[in-house]
Amino acid sequence: DTTVTVTPAAIGFVAVPKSLDDIVKVPDGYSVTVLYRLGDPINTATAAFANNGTDTGYANRAGDHHDGMSYFGLAATGNTPDPANSLRGLLVLNHENINQAYLHVNGATTVGGARPEGEALKEMECHGVSVVEIVRASLSGAWSYVQAGTLNRRVTPLTPTSFVGPVAGNAALRTAFSPTGVAGRGTINNCANGYMPWGTYMTNEENWAGYFRRDTGDVAARGGAAAKANVSLARYGIPENRPGNYAWSTVTPADAASTIYRRWNITVQPGAAADGSGDFRNEANQFGWCLEIDPFTNTSVPRKRTALGRMNHEGCWAGRTIVGVRPAFYMGDDAQNEYIYKFVSATPWVAADASPTDRLATGDKYLNTGTLYVARFNADGTGTWLPLIFGQGGITASNTTYAFADQADVLINARLAADVLGATRMDRPEWTAINPVSGEMYCTLTNNSSRTVANTDAPNPRAYTDPRTNGTVTNGNANGHIIRLRETGDTSEATAFAWDIYAFGAGSDLNPTNINLSGLDATNDFSSPDGLWFGRSSNASGLVSPVMWIETDDGAYTDVTNCMLLAAQPGTVNDGGVRTITNTIGATTGTQATRVGRAPGTALRRFLVGCKECEITGIDSTPDGRSLFVNIQHPGENGSPSNITSNWPANQSGTAATGVRPRSATIVITKNDGGVVGL
Ligand code: FEO
Ligand code: CA
Ligand code: CA
Ligand code: CA
C-alpha cells in the first residue's frame, strides 16, 4: 500500500559525545552486551578461544571483521522460521577480512618466500559468513549465542557454492575446480548484506580482486593489453606483477593435489587447456557476485546470483514488496567513481512467497530472470535507470572498446557495460537502504579522494581540501555524503526517479559554505558514512517508525573521534531545494549546483561511538525493536602482537585488560527500561 501515512515516534535519547576512548559508548539508559566474538566456537567439539595466536579450527569458530548482518527469527523450539520471534533467532553475519597479525603467535610469517600452510588456512577460514543461533530467556534476560546450535554454520572461501542465472555454465567460469563453469568454491571479502523478502540472507563479494596473484607476462599470455580478457581484468583492478593479499598462492600444501592455495594465482599456466578448464586463469570471474544463503538449513549449497551482475558488490537490499509488482534490489559498487545499480525481477511479487517452503527455489524465481539497471543522475534532480541488456544502447558485439558476446558477458563485465551506457560515476557507493514508509532509496557515498573541482557534478558536488584527515591534508570529497532517490510513481519497476542529497558528512567546525553544508553540530557530525539501515521497530501505536541508522567507516575524522552509529529521521526527496557550492582546491575554484535535503538538525543524532581503530558496521534488530545488533569491526587494526593498540572487547566492562588482543565482535544494545532502542 503506497498511500499509508504514518506519524513516526521521535528519537528519544541524548546524543553521545565524540570519543577516542577504547570502549563502545551508548546513551544513558542503554546497555551493551558482547555477544559473538572472533574465535568463539560454534560447536561443542571446538576448544575455547585462547586468543594468543595458537588457535586453529576457524571453520568452526566465528571469523574476523564482522560486517553486514541480519536476524532471522526462529520458533521457540526446533529449527522452523518464526519471523516474529524476538527471543530466539539466527544471526547471520559477514566476516569481510582479517587483522592478520593477531591470528598468529608473533604475526604472519613467510619462510623461504612461501607462506606456511597452517597460517594461510587460518586466514582463509577467518573470511566468509557465520550462521549462529542466539537466544534470550525473556525480554529482560541476557542474550547469548548457543555454542551447540544445530543450525550453526560457517561459510568460508572453501565452501561449495553453485552458479545460477544467465552466467551459470559460461566458459568464463571454467576452472580446474569447475570445468563446466557451474560449481563455485567459497566466497570472500563479504561486505554488506541483504535480507531477502522470502527469508534468506544475501552476502556480497566486495574487494575480492585484491586477493589474486597475477605474474608478469600474463597480459602477453592473454593476447596483449587490447585483448578482451585483459581489458576486463584491468577494469576490475587486477594488474599483473603482484602477489595477491596475504600471498596464499605461495603455500606448498601437504596434500600436493590440493588446489585451495594455487587457485589464488590466475596466471595462465603453460600447457593448460586454452579454454581455461585446466588452470585458474578464470578464477577471478568466480568472484564479484551476490551469494544467497538459506540460514535454516546448514546443508544447503549457497547460490551465486549472476543476474545481479559482477562488481565490487557492497550490498543488495530489496525495495518494498507489493503484490503484483516486480520487486527491485538496490546495489552499490564500492570503488572510486563506480556506479549504483538495481535489479528488477521479471516476476511480480506473490504474498505467499514471504514464507515459502523452499527458500532458495523462491530466490531462483525472483532473482534468476530480470533486468539489471545502472543509475544516471541528471543535474535537474531527475535520473534514469539504464538497462544493461545485450544488443541495446551500444552494448553490442561491434562495440569498439569491448566486443560483448552475449548477456552473460554483459553481466560478468557489468562495469564495462555501464561505462558504455554513460552511467554516473559516484563517490564510492556503499550501502543502500529503503525507507519502509515511503519506499525511497538511500545510498551512502563514503568518500572520494579523486573527485576534482573540474569533475564535480550535481550528485557528487563537493571537492575541497579537508584540513584534518588524520593530520594529512586530503583533497576531493574526504567526508562523503548520503544520496537518496524516489522512484517515479513510487514503484520498484520505475525506470526514472527524482533525487537529492540527504546529508553531507563533515566536522561541525568546518567551513559551512563548502564542507559542512548540512549544518552538522557537535551532536551529529560524522565522516565517511557506510552502513545504512532502516529500523523495523514499531512505536506504541504499532506504526512503523522509520528511523534510519547510519554507521561510519575509518575516515577523515578519526583523529577527532572513533567511528560511530547515528540515528536519523529523514524527510523526503526535495525537501531542501537547490544549492550552489563553491569548490576550492588550491588555486582551482568552481561552482557546482545540486539538490539538497533540509538540514537534519536534531532529527540526526549520534547514538554510539566505537572503540579504538574500529569501524562500525552491520546492523539489525529483533522484530520488536527492543534489541539492536551492531558489529564492531577490526578494533586495534593498526596494531600487532608486540604492539596491541586496543583491548576491546575484553575491556568493555570497564575493567582494564592490558595485553589482551582485540577481537571483532557483535554487540547487542538494549534499553534499560525494556523499550524500543532509539525511541
Ligand atoms: Fe566493505 Fe565498501 O566496505
Ligand atoms: Ca562498507
Ligand atoms: Ca567503507
Ligand atoms: Ca573496515
Note the pLDDT tens digit of each residue in 334-384: 999 999 999 999 999 999 999 999 999 999 999 999 999 999 999 999 999
Question: Using a 6 Å cutoff on CB, does residue 96 contact ligand 1?
Answer: yes
What is the SS3 assignment for 200?
coil
Mean predicted lDDT score pLDDT of the chain: 95
10 Å Cβ neighbour count for 569? 18
Atom of ligand 1 lying closest to residue 446 CA: 2
Query: Which is nearest to 598 in space by CA: 484, 466, 474, 434?
Result: 484
Please list the alpha-helical segments (H only) found in 264-355.
none
Residue 271 — φ and ψ, nearest 5°?
85, -10
506: CB partners within 8 A, 6+ apart: 479, 515, 516, 517, 518, 520, 525, 527
Percent of the chain with pLDDT over 90: 93
Sign of CA dihedral 252, 255, 256, 257: negative
Give the pLDDT score at 660. 98
Give the pLDDT score at 304. 98
Compute, in angstroms, the gap from residue 5 CA to the centroid of ligand 2: 32
Residue 537 — very low, low, confident or very high, per pLDDT cuts 50/70/90?
A: low
Residue 679 — very low, low, confident or very high, per pLDDT cuts 50/70/90?
A: confident
Question: Using a 6 Å cutoff on CB, does residue 191 contact ligand 1?
Answer: yes
9: CB partners within 8 A, 6+ apart: 539, 540, 543, 545, 676, 679
Query: Which residue has its alpha carbon closest to ligand 1 atom 1?
Result: 191
Residue 214 — φ and ψ, nearest 5°?
-145, 115
**What are the counts of helices (DSSP H) followed by strands (DSSP E) for the chain?**
6, 34
Question: Using a 6 Å cutoff on CB, does residue 331 contact ligand 1?
Answer: no
Beta bridge partners of 634: none
Which residue type, as a one-letter code, is found at position 625?
Answer: G
Compute, in angstroms, the gap from residue 676 CA to the centroid of ligand 2: 26
88-119 per-position pLDDT tens digit: 999 999 999 999 999 999 999 999 999 999 99
Which residue type, as a one-letter code, is found at position 28?
Answer: D
* Pairing outcome for strands 160-164 and 303-305: parallel
Question: Using a 6 Å cutoff on CB, does residue 551 contact ligand 1?
Answer: no
Q: Of 280-289, 530-539, 579-588, which range is least confident?
A: 530-539
Question: Using a 6 Å cutoff on CB, does residue 554 contact ligand 1?
Answer: no
Compute, in angstroms, the gap from residue 338 CA to the centroid of ligand 1: 13
Query: Which is nearest to 660 in space by CA: 20, 19, 22?
Result: 22
Is the previous residue joined to 649 through a cis bond, with omega within 30 degrees of 0?
A: yes
Query: Which residue has its alpha carbon closest to ligand 1 atom 3?
Result: 191
Is the pLDDT confidence value at 527 over 50? yes
445: CB partners within 8 A, 6+ apart: 426, 427, 428, 429, 430, 460, 477, 480, 481, 482, 483, 529
Question: Using a 6 Å cutoff on CB, does residue 430 contact ligand 1?
Answer: yes
Question: Using a 6 Å cutoff on CB, does residue 55 contact ligand 1?
Answer: no
Compute, in angstroms, the gap from residue 114 CA to the centroid of ligand 3: 31
Name the closest ligand to CA 66: 4
Segment 452-460 shows an average pLDDT of 98
Is the pLDDT confidence value at 78 over 50? yes
Can you tell me the distance from the alpha carbon of 460 to that of 451, in angstroms, rounded to the nearest whole number?
8
Is the pLDDT confidence value at 540 over 60? no
Is the pLDDT confidence value at 615 over 70? yes
Query: If phi over 0 gives left and psi between -120 and 50 gives alpha, with beta otherwise, what is residue 613?
Result: left
Can you tell me the distance from the alpha carbon of 520 to that of 490, in angstroms, rounded to the nearest whole number?
30
Residue 617 — very low, low, confident or very high, per pLDDT cuts 50/70/90?
A: very high
Compute, in angstroms, the gap from residue 430 CA to the centroid of ligand 3: 7
Segment 226-253 shows an average pLDDT of 98
Residues with Cβ–ion distance below 5 A, ligand 4: 615
Compute, in angstroms, the gap from residue 673 CA to the centroid of ligand 3: 34
Between the CA of residue 364 and those of 302, 306, 319, 367, what are the distances in Å? 12, 11, 17, 5
649-671 per-position pLDDT tens digit: 999 999 999 999 999 999 999 99
Tell me how many degrees the CA angle 158-162-163 measures, rounded to the nearest 5.
125
Residue 471 — very low, low, confident or very high, per pLDDT cuts 50/70/90?
A: low
Query: If phi over 0 gives left and psi between -120 and 50 gives alpha, with beta otherwise, what is residue 213?
Result: beta
Name the closest ligand to CA 637: 4
Percent of the chain with pLDDT over 70: 97
Beta bridge partners of 133: 90
Segment holding 323, helix H or strand E: none
Give the pLDDT score at 7. 47
57: which DSSP letter? -
Long-range pairs for 325-328: beta carbons < 8 A, 24 or more residues apart: 325/349, 325/491, 325/492, 325/493, 326/370, 326/492, 326/493, 327/197, 327/366, 327/492, 328/487, 328/492, 328/493
Give the pLDDT score at 538. 56
Residue 545 — very low, low, confident or very high, per pLDDT cuts 50/70/90?
A: low
Give the pLDDT score at 472. 73
Can you tell me the distance from the alpha carbon of 420 to that of 402, in angstroms, rounded to the nearest whole number?
9
10 Å Cβ neighbour count for 469? 20
Residue 11 — very low, low, confident or very high, per pLDDT cuts 50/70/90?
A: confident
Is the pLDDT confidence value at 278 over 70? yes
Question: Using a 6 Å cutoff on CB, does residue 314 contact ligand 1?
Answer: yes
Answer for the pair 609, 527: CB distance below 8 angstroms, yes or no: no
Q: Is the reported ipTM for this assembly greater than 0.90?
A: yes
Segment 435-439 shows an average pLDDT of 88
Can you tell me the distance from the alpha carbon of 593 to that of 10, in angstroms, rounded to the nearest whole number?
32
Segment 132-142 shows an average pLDDT of 97
Higher pLDDT, residue 179 or 542: 179
Segment 230-252 shows an average pLDDT of 98
